[in-house]
Structure 1
Amino acid sequence: MPRSIPRAALLLGFSALPGAALAASAAEDAGPPEIVVTGRGLDAGPATPAYGTTEIGAERLNQAASGRIEDALSAIAGFQQFRRSDSRSSNPSAQGVTLRALGGNATSRTLVLLDGVPMADPFFGYIPLSAISPERLAGVRVTRGGGSGAFGAGAVAGTIEFASASASQLGRFGGSALIDDRGDSELSGTFAPRLGSGFAVLSGRWDRGPGFWTTPVEQRAAASVRARYESWSAGLRAVAPITPDIELQARVLAFRDNRTLRFAGADTGTAGEDASLRLVGRGRWQFDVLGYVQRRDFSNVVVSAVTFRPTLNQRATPSTGAGGKLELRPPVGGGHLLRLGGDWRVATGETLETGLTPTLTYRRAGGTNGDLGVFAEDDWTLGPVVLTAGARADRWSIRSGHASVARPDGTFTSNLVFADRSGWLGSVRGGAVAQVAPGVKLRAAGYTGLRQPTLNELYRSFVVAGVTTNRNPLLKAERLAGAEAGLDLTPLPGISLSVTAFSNRVRDAIANVTSATDPNQRTRANIAAIQARGLEFAAHLERGPLALDGSLALTDAAMRTPGQALNGKRPAQTPKVAAALTAAYRPAAGWTTAITLRHVGAQFEDDLQTDLLPAATTLDAFAQVPIAGSVSLVLRGENLTDTRIITRNSGGTVDLGAPRTVWLGLRVGIR
């Protein structure tokens, strides 16, 4: 483990100090106070709607036809991964998450949090989606656009905040077992006992199967295989009261994920363990103190599409992450909600690879990235108007960068050490939301943000389908400047409509830029900017047992690189149109049927727009029917129209997404 990890332990120990002081104050109160344990962080501020947030509850998360969290999130138009493939059939290192068509490479431009903890892989920046199980969650809040609060250095395209479910939300026991028409299986369960005034949640999930063909029939060779997969995750979460208004939350998570991609022997695997402690105070002086540690690993065997033999064994990519935050909300009064605090993150990682052609070589590359930020934000309620403004300053550092190639006898063919760098960057945001009439709200916001390059972008080169993407140890941080305005309408109970117009510009955006002289050579580089402008629409209608939810994103995104071939072109993997519509019918308690129609517009694999990924429209379905007591029958259907979904296109060699798939199983819930 790196020397930075003990600092996280100091942070965890320090987190008890505010609790001790406030416990003494609480003891002076007369009478036996009521103890309410929630397991959540502090409530969102009154100005949160100024930034155009969208929330998805647990019920909708658990209606995803594939049972995967990325499927559930795709109900929000504008959400996208680097590629269209899901967490059964993609390379995990390509599971970058972004919003508002600000993609361009496989690193997440969106900050993803689980109970306040950043989930991005410390080395690559991808999100371990298979480790985030919908059945464990109370809901998710998605904020499209930049932010400057806790862990804000990374929220360039927005923030996705997952919240774990409490014992009261889960019930004493819940579980499900399903199998699909290919023989894939899914098994999950939660056990949530009450422990005095607190609770614990023990959860697990296991997915496995032969998978589907990602290679089209006409491109299959003798070495082609289905996208076989097996993954499991297990978590333990405990919440206990310290005083009537202070609670301690502890969480550990372990996961493993193994997949085979396209060819026999092209095996990839991820593994991780996370642990965090959080102290939340909801008294007069509110506070949220959090510390976490992470260990991650990644392995990958690259098989040639020509010889069908392994060309590279990325045998391990060990990385560690650690960090924490302190947020304080002093009782300033006067309609103000003031947030003060700081956060710290460090990521250390290294890739260990064996090159198998043309000669045997051993490669190492990695380093350490750090960020220390301080922030302040104030929400001011003035009758029907809420104003908000915030600022943060980040001390960033890039240290210990190195990359080497050695022969089997230990002699180096290259041994590079890169200079350390550090500096300060600032970001701000502000906005307003006004209730201008009954059922009518106006909102507007402006913001800046930043994202450091990942260790992967800085130090690791790689080859996919004969195209080499080269590292760049001189990459600068991405800088966002954006603004948006929106209208929210609730003309009648159960009906809500919203529209948001936005303009986001990422300066020094990191992209994989194709060489002007060799189309098989790309280099990670800071391009002048990515500009994204667009409209986002959302609608909700609920009438008795019927509910409709719709989302539409229309985005014009372009790279701004004057004098270069890619100037004016769309960033890789970004569609102009994305839409989703879900209709759910709940005729009685425990009964649910839902169908979801999704459309993703055409996009391009590469920066020069030579490899097209055609538009795709899919239809999914979900049904849950009680059959006896706490047992229900569950039926799920993915891509029922069997649409051909092209997820990767490299010079006409393509990968496909999930075909028509039907799942059948049982779900049990004991309150």
Structure 2
Amino acid sequence: MGTGGGMTLTRRVKFGTHSVIIVVAGLIALGGLMRPSPVAWGADTDSPVPSGAGEAVRLEPVVVSASRVEQRLRDVPANVTVITREDIEQSPARTVDDLLRQIPGFSLFRRSSSLVTHPTTQGVSLRGIGPSGVSRTLVLLDGVPLNDPFGGWIYWNKVPMESIERIEVARGGGSGVWGNYALGGVINIITRRPEARVAQAKLDLGTRDTVDADLLVSHVTGPWGISLEGSFFDTDGYKIVRKDQRGKIDVNANSSHKTFNGRMEYTPSLNSSLFLAGSFFREDRGNGTPFQNNETETGYIATGGRLKTADGSDWQLTMFSHLQTFSSTFTSAAPNRNSETPALNQFDVPSTDVGLNLQWSKRVFQSHLLTAGTDLRWIDGETNEDATFSQALGEFTRRRKAGGEQVLTGAYIQDIFTPAPGWQVTIAGRLDTWQSFNASRVEKNKQTGAITPTSPGSFPDRDEFAFSPKVALLYHATDQLSLRSSFYKGFRAPTINEQFRPFRVRNDITEANPDLDPERLIGGEVGADYAIMSNLLGRLTAFWNEVKDPVVNVTKGIGAGAPVAPCGFVPAGGVCRQRDNLDRTRIRGIEAELEYRPLPRWTASGSYLYNHTEVLSAPNQPDLEGKRIAQVPRHQFALKLNYTNPALINVSVQGRFVGDQFEDDLNSLKLGDFFVVDLMLSRPIPVPGATAGELFLAAENLFDRTYEVSRTADGIVTTGTPLLVHGGVRVRF
């Protein structure tokens, strides 16, 4: 299916802690009671028989992320990367975001792993379209939005790696059918479906007292299928402030999370199916000093089904809901970092959302594949927090409550038209509405109960509309060469978090802005996929995007131990920023990918991204014009070499380069470039009573390279993931 950093090379025929250990042992014992499955580890029951020694025909994947309907990868007029189950098992990554970093252009707001970073810095961007805590890319879990309803970031740890079947990464504007968040593209995480009498366990232990365990059982009987999974992760983490700047308050940034997933399916016929899925997730983090931590607890449920009718129509319905609570504390550090003072306590940030999607598709006259649908998402969230700590009183003196509700609705239609052999035209359009209502911000003096003068109270209701068209052309010039192009518009509504929740990073304060306008994107791309030889595939894409009213963190003033509007008191050396709309930014670039199989056991691949970003117009901050967009490197590349020999050892080596970038909008805080190497070794082993077993050993940042993740205005630098070594065993019954 795919190897080597996620590219898919298609070989075409002519026509185309103790408790954890105890639980793992219990699962193994349970698996021993089940009838062994005939499927080997990592195999696919639909995979063809090898055609020769060490060589197998590779089936071309079917993807849904680009167009919301199933298409062969070669028939998608977009740059889509498929990360397969094989790729996941060859990677040392323990979180989805670290896995996706092998794709140039994928980035979070910060360069560090979600293992140790604050969740509000885990918004994802593709192709440098405005990285920040909120995502400019839609992330789906089995077709359901994974973007946090309150803030738009992603809890990557919600999805255990062992549960994933494949990940589709579709770059380029996707709002034409997907709507909100899909400015830079769509990431669709597809989990494993229930299988007959299967039990699977993984135990992974590593440096820094890290434990990663996963337990999964599933069964199918008749039309019914069920799967249950439990996952546990805990690490002591590491100190994130640069070594020469640390003081007494600098401790390890640690994290722990637990996940439980369940899914039930009912498939009475080939033309109909129903499902019910749910999960529970809890995460606890220490954020690098004794008094900075955050907690999240969330539940999720989804249900729906699919029905194919006699006239050829395919109907799909999905309904879902998330219920979440979040808390986080922030402090102000002394210049010598030997003491800290409470600065902000967000003790309760609840949010709820309910959503649905109804979609119809049908092939008409053989040359038209029509799709139409509608979706809705209602979101309710608020932040309850204490601010302005009094040393004399030993407590916070202000209490703030801010939040509101949003409703996003959309309707879309798409025609995938094949006018002649080798040609495909895709025309899509979507109308979205965004409503913000019941919004308020109230601040009270905790001692007197008086409303503070800066508290605006309620905000007026708002309505916005957006039309997002897309036109794409695909031409299969030969069996080896395909040419593609597309033009699109996109839309992203500001989140409740951006409108109402301020935050703090050490002494730098960022204020919310209730008056934010939606972001709108216009862009296009051209590309080619070329099978240069039967074992060498190349892909090249050039893209251009402009974003109107992008939401960025705009610098409002430098702190001097005095108030700075609109942030209030800002410590000396700190910065006051506020989320604000600029007028226009531009992002242009080139993506190039190669994959080469010189021998059946060897695969080499490489990918490169050149990304030129610029603030074109910023009347509210003219100093930003001509500056690069913060947090976007100009150059990125990844190299990967795989050797597969189950009788001896499987080896995967990956190198990743990220160019220099700027921390801030003024381009005054530069983060240097870096290159890191990761290594993965594995070998199948016999396990009594099991159908498959595997030992593995991995090293992340093999040469322990120190690289910068963030830099504050007072010069404090945080660093990225150091050398981490871990290994363990997988067993499948």
TM-score with structure 2 setting the length: 0.83
The answer to whether the 8 Å contact 1:88/1:259 transfers is no
AA in 1 matched with 2:437: R
Letter in 2 for 1:379: I
CA–CA separation in structure 1 for the residues paired with 2:411 and 2:105: 30
| Structure 1 residues 450-505: Cα deviation after superposition (integer angstroms, max 9, x where no partner) | 00000011112222222221211111110010000001011333321100000011
Show the counterpart of 1:320: 352
In structure 2, which of residues 623, 627, 638 is the aligned counterpart of residue 580 of structure 1?
Answer: 638
**Which residue is equivalent to 1:416?**
457
Residues 508-564 of structure 1 show CA distances to partners (whole Å, capped at 9, x for unaligned) of 100011126767221111101121000001122233111223221111011122561
SS at match of 1:476: coil
- The answer to whether the 8 Å contact 1:96/1:109 transfers is yes
Aligned to 2:319: 291
Match of 1:565 among 619, 623, 634: 623
Q: Residue 382 of structure 2 corresponds to which residue in structure 1?
A: 350
CA contact 1:122–1:296 (8 Å) conserved in 2: no
Q: 2:343 — aligned with what?
A: 311
In the alignment, the residues of structure 2 paired with residue 251 and residue 70 of structure 1 have an alpha-carbon distance, to the nearest angstrom, of 23
Match of 2:296 among 270, 276, 284: 270
What secondary structure is seen at the aligned counterpart in 1 of 2:477?
strand
Does 2:700 correspond to 1:663?
Answer: no
Deviations 1:9-36 (A, max 9, x none): xxxxxxxxxxxxxxxxxxxxxxxxxxx9
Match of 1:302 among 326, 330, 334: 330
Q: Which amino acid aligns with 1:412?
A: I
* Residue of 667, 671, 694 corresponding to 1:632: 694
Q: Is the counterpart of residue 92 in structure 1 residue 150 in structure 2?
A: no
Partner of 1:367: 404
Match of residue 505 from structure 1:
546
How many Å apart are 1:650 and its aligned residue? 0.5
1:212 aligns with 2:267: no
The letter of the residue matching 1:428 is P
Q: Distance in 1 between matches of 2:367 and 2:324?
A: 44
Q: Does 1:175 align with 2:201?
A: yes
- Superposed, which structure 2 residues align to 1:343-492 within 5 Å? 343-358=375-390, 359-381=396-418, 382-408=420-446, 409-413=448-452, 414-492=455-533
The 8 Å contact of residues 175 and 491 in structure 2, kept in 1 or not, is answered as: no
Distance 1:586 1:173 in 2: 25
Secondary structure of the residue aligned to 2:340 is coil
Deviation at 1:149, TM superposition (A): 4.7
| Pair 152,167 (structure 1): closer, same or farther in 2 beyond 3 Å | same
**Which segment is superposed worse, 406-415 or 601-610?**
406-415
* Paired position in structure 1 for 2:600: 544
Structure 1 distance, partners of 2:168, 2:615, is 29
Residues 347-404 of structure 1: per-residue CA shift (max 9 Å, x gap): 1100111125145221111111111100000001121011100001112101111111
- Mapped to 2, the partners of 1:48 and 1:407 lie a distance apart of 61
Alignment match, 1:11: none
Give 1:95 shift: 0.4
Match of residue 22 from structure 1: none
Tell me how far apart the structure 1 counterparts of residues 187 and 410 of structure 2 sit (CA, whole Å).
20
Whether contact under 8 Å (1:104, 1:512) holds in the other structure is no
Deviations 1:541-596 (A, max 9, x none): 23311122322111101112256111111111110011111211111379522011
Could you tell me which of 513, 518, 521 is aligned with 2:576? 521
Match of 2:665 in 1: 607
**For the Cα contact (< 8 Å) 1:188–1:204, is it kept in 2?**
yes
Residues 62, 71 of structure 2: 8 Å contact kept:
no
Report the Cα distance in structure 2 between the residues aligned to 1:191 and 1:112, rounded to whole angstroms: 26
- Shifted more, 633-642 versus 196-205: the winner is 196-205
**More moved, 567-576 vs 187-196:** 187-196
The letter of the residue matching 2:694 is: S
Aligned twin of 2:254 = 228
Q: 3-state DSSP class of the match of 1:412?
A: coil
For the residues of structure 1 that align with 2:707 and 2:79, how far apart are their CA atoms?
A: 30
Residue 162 (structure 2) pairs with residue 130 (structure 1): no
The one-letter code matched in structure 2 to 1:279 is G
Contact (CA 8 Å) 2:124, 2:131: kept in 1 or not? no
SS in 2 for 1:71: helix
**1:49-107 CA deviation, whole Å, 9 max, x = no partner?**
21221111112123332311111111111000000111111110110001011124211
Per the alignment, residue 15 of structure 1 pairs with: none
- The answer on whether the counterparts of 2:331 and 2:506 sit within 8 Å (CA) in structure 1 is no
Please tell me whether the aligned partners of residues 64 and 71 of structure 1 are also in contact (alpha carbons under 8 angstroms): no
Q: Which amino acid aligns with 1:487?
A: A
1:74 is matched with 101
Structure 1 residues 318-374: Cα deviation after superposition (integer angstroms, max 9, x where no partner): 001111111101342231100011111111100111125145221111111111100
1:45–1:337 CA contact under 8 A, matched in 2:
no
Preserved contact between residue 63 and residue 72 of structure 1 (Cα < 8 Å): no
Cα distance between partner residues in 2 of 1:104 and 1:81: 7
> Which deviates more from structure 2 when the two are superposed, residues 45-54 or residues 303-312?
45-54
Residue 19 of structure 1 corresponds to none
Name the stretch that deviates more: 496-505 or 404-413: 404-413
Q: What is the CA–CA distance in structure 2 between the aligned matches of 1:246 and 1:40, rounded to whole Å?
A: 20
RMSD across aligned positions (CA): 2.1
Aligned residue for 2:133, secondary structure, equals coil
Residue 171 of structure 1: CA displacement?
A: 7.5
Determine the C-alpha separation between the residues in 2 that align with 1:292 and 1:370: 15
Q: State how far apart, in whole Å, the 1-side matches of 2:660 and 2:503 are.
A: 26
Determine the C-alpha separation between the residues in 1 that align with 2:204 and 2:297: 24
Deviation at 1:312, TM superposition (A): 1.5
Residue 616 of structure 1 corresponds to: 674
Instruction: After TM superposition, list the pairs within 5 Å mapping 1:98-113 onto structure 2.
Output: 98-113=125-140
Q: Residues 119 and 310 (structure 1 numbering): CA distance in 2 closer, same or farther, change over 3 Å? A: same
Identity across the alignment (%): 29
Which amino acid is the alignment partner of residue 286 of structure 1?
Answer: D
CA distance in 2, matches of 1:271, 1:549: 39
8 A Cα contact 1:338 1:378, kept in partner: yes
2:488 corresponds to which letter in structure 1?
Answer: Y
By how many angstroms is 1:428 displaced?
0.2
Contact 1:479 1:508 in 2 (8 A): yes
In the alignment, the residues of structure 2 paired with residue 463 and residue 399 of structure 1 have an alpha-carbon distance, to the nearest angstrom, of 26
Evaluate the alpha carbon distance shift between residue 590 and residue 451 of structure 1 in structure 2; reply closer, same or farther with a 3 A threshold. farther
Counterpart residue identity of residue 561, structure 1: S
Contact 2:214–2:232 (8 Å) recurs in 1:
yes
Q: Which secondary structure does the structure 2 equivalent of 1:211 belong to?
A: strand
Q: What is the CA–CA distance in structure 2 between the aligned matches of 1:613 and 1:493, rounded to whole Å?
A: 41
Retained in 2: the 8 A contact 1:40–1:115?
no
TM-fit CA distance, 1:423: 3.0
Separation (CA, whole Å) in 2 of partners of 1:591 and 1:337: 46
Q: Go from structure 1 to structure 2 and tell me whether the alpha carbon gap of 1:171 and 1:584 turns closer, same or farther (over 3 Å shift).
A: farther
Counterpart code for 2:678: D
In structure 2, C-alpha distance between the alignment counterparts of 1:387 and 1:659, rounded to whole Å: 47
SS of the aligned residue for 2:178 comes to coil
Decide whether the 8 Å contact of 2:558 with 2:575 is kept in 1.
Answer: no
Q: 2:168 aligns with which of 133, 141, 144?
A: 141
Specify the SS of the correspondent of 2:583: strand
Corresponding residue for residue 646 of structure 1:
708
Number of aligned positions between the proteins: 633
User: Aligned partner of 1:512: which letter?
Assistant: N
Structure 2 residue runs of 5 or longer lacking an equivalent are 1-45, 47-60, 391-395, 560-573
1:138: how far off? 1.1
Residues 499 and 331 of structure 1: CA distance in aligned 2, closer, same or farther (over 3 Å): closer
State how far apart, in whole Å, the 1-side matches of 2:482 and 2:115 are. 41
